[in-house]
Amino acid sequence: MATISYKDAGVDIDAGNAFVEAIKSDVKSTFDSNVIGGIGSFAGAYALPTGYKEPVILSATDGVGTKLKLAIESKKLDTVGIDLVAMCVNDLICNFGTPMFFLDYYATGKLIPADAQAVVSGIAAGCREAECALVGGETAEMPSMYHNDDFDLAGFAVGIAERSEMDTISNVREGQVLIAIPSSGVHSNGYSLVRKIFFEKLGMSLNDDFNGKPLVDTLLEPTRIYIKLFKEHKSRIKALAHITGGGIVENLPRVLPEGIKAIVNKSTIRTLPIFDFMSQYVSEEEMYRTFNMGVGMVWVVDAVDAEAILSSTDGYIIGALASGNKEVELI
């Protein structure tokens, strides 16, 4: 009787092994002195950094959403890994955590080693930018779950914080200034609406010109990673919000105490061309509830510290805090 192999069922073990070998140099490039051991063990090991009085471990997890569909369709797979890291580590710093290490999960219908390597290369690039180590990951080939070369990504970041620094809400008060730190583009939220506008309503293609370059290049611009900037200015930041799904109006209130509102002047926001274009087809309210509108992070700082931050970053003032209901007031 003829035997059936795992490969016959759609899972290629040899391809998986080849992939692991191919990514070793990228993974090792993210290691720091706290990484214990190498690649290939059952778990990644990381020594706790010293110098903390009351260290608290923080974690964050996220994905890239339907931005992945654009990457798959265009075969431009080297940047979505950066998005994956960014969406996780940018959340950590909102609780004053410093990223230590990262893990990824890559699930696909058919493992194509070159494609998977491009994705992991992006993840490694994101980890280097975020100054954290890529200590492990999982690659799952599941032909009965995913169609052909479709794949999905999930990321997991672990960081460390000083317990006394985590209660940022207690630092927030009336009269403080709101500084916008620009985004690099759409980042990794709202792509179901992006696809609806550009490809269903307007019938555009990935290679159509947009603002002097192929549309796909703008749409796949990787999410900006703010770790180094945060570390440089941590002592002056009272609180910070990562502007993801829900936009400024839903994310900024998460760092406000009761009785304090954020007044944001829309005319000061330096919206990017991609948002100006989509605004022709989407209401202003919906735009501000879906996209970052060009603002990747909002820092809450004391007015006396604003000038020092503005002179050494690409940030700019978009508003201030006042007494009122815990919400964002767009004026």
The pLDDT assigned to 42 comes to: 83
Instruction: Tell me which residue range forms the domain holding 41.
Output: 13-166
- Residue 236 sits in a domain of what CATH number? 3.90.650.10
- Residue 71 sits in a domain of what CATH number? 3.30.1330.10
- Write the CA distances from 157 to 123, 169, 234, 242, integer angstroms: 12, 23, 20, 15
- Is the domain of 83 the same as that of 226? no
Q: For the whole model, what pTM was predicted?
A: 0.94
Conformation bin of residue 96: beta by default, left when phi > 0, alpha when psi is -120 to 50: left
Contacts with 77 (C-beta within 8 Å, 6 or more apart), sequence order: 71, 115, 118, 119, 122
Residues 272-305 have pLDDT tens digits of 999 999 999 999 999 999 999 999 999 999 999 9
- Is the domain of 184 the same as that of 325? yes
pLDDT interval class at 5 (50, 70, 90): low
Query: Does some domain include residue 5?
Result: no
The pLDDT assigned to 10 comes to: 63
Per DSSP, which regions of the chain are E strands?
35-36, 45-46, 55-62, 98-108, 133-141, 151-162, 177-182, 209-210, 213-214, 237-242, 260-264, 295-301, 316-323, 328-330
- Is the domain of 119 the same as that of 67? yes
The pLDDT assigned to 9 comes to: 59
Q: Which of 138, 166, 194 is the last residue of a domain?
A: 166
pLDDT interval class at 1 (50, 70, 90): low
- Is the domain of 119 the same as that of 248? no
pLDDT interval class at 256 (50, 70, 90): very high
- The residue among 177, 168, 174, 172 whose CA lies nearest residue 318 is 177
Residues 79-88 have pLDDT tens digits of 999 999 999 9
Query: Is-contact 91 60, C-beta < 8 A?
Result: yes
Q: Which residue has the higher pLDDT, 187 or 148?
A: 187
Three-state secondary structure call for residue 203: coil
Query: Does some domain include residue 258?
Result: yes
Q: How far apart are CA 23 and CA 53, in angstroms?
A: 37
Q: Which of 109, 137, 166 is the last residue of a domain?
A: 166
Residues 93-128 have pLDDT tens digits of 999 999 999 999 999 998 889 999 999 999 999 999
- Is the domain of 181 the same as that of 111? no
Mean pLDDT for 166-174 is 95
Residues 127-140 have pLDDT tens digits of 999 999 999 999 99
What's the structural domain count of the chain?
2
Q: Which of 143, 166, 189 is the last residue of a domain?
A: 166
Conformation bin of residue 187: beta by default, left when phi > 0, alpha when psi is -120 to 50: left
Query: Does some domain include residue 84?
Result: yes
Query: Does some domain include residue 198?
Result: yes
Query: Does some domain include residue 8?
Result: no
Assess whether pLDDT exceeds 60 at residue 8: no
Residues 9-59 have pLDDT tens digits of 567 767 767 777 778 888 889 999 999 987 777 888 999 999 999 999 999
- Is the domain of 138 the same as that of 150? yes
Q: How far apart are CA 257 and CA 254, in angstroms?
A: 8
Query: Does some domain include residue 2?
Result: no
- Is the domain of 259 the same as that of 238? yes
Assess whether pLDDT exceeds 80 at residue 78: yes
Tell me the percentage of the chain whose pLDDT exceeds 70: 97
Query: Does some domain include residue 285?
Result: yes
209-214: Cβ within 8 A, 24+ apart: 210/273, 210/274, 210/277, 211/273, 211/274
Low-confidence winner among 40-54, 152-166, 218-232, 248-262 (lowest mean pLDDT): 40-54
- Is the domain of 272 the same as that of 313? yes
Assess whether pLDDT exceeds 70 at residue 6: no
- The residue among 314, 328, 128 whose CA lies nearest residue 243 is 328
- Is the domain of 160 the same as that of 173? no
- Is the domain of 296 the same as that of 221? yes
Residue 155, strand partner residues? 62, 104
- Is the domain of 220 the same as that of 283? yes
- Is the domain of 153 the same as that of 178? no
Query: Is-contact 161 98, C-beta < 8 A?
Result: yes
Query: Does some domain include residue 3?
Result: no
Residues 172-225 have pLDDT tens digits of 999 999 999 999 999 999 999 999 999 999 999 999 999 999 999 999 999 999
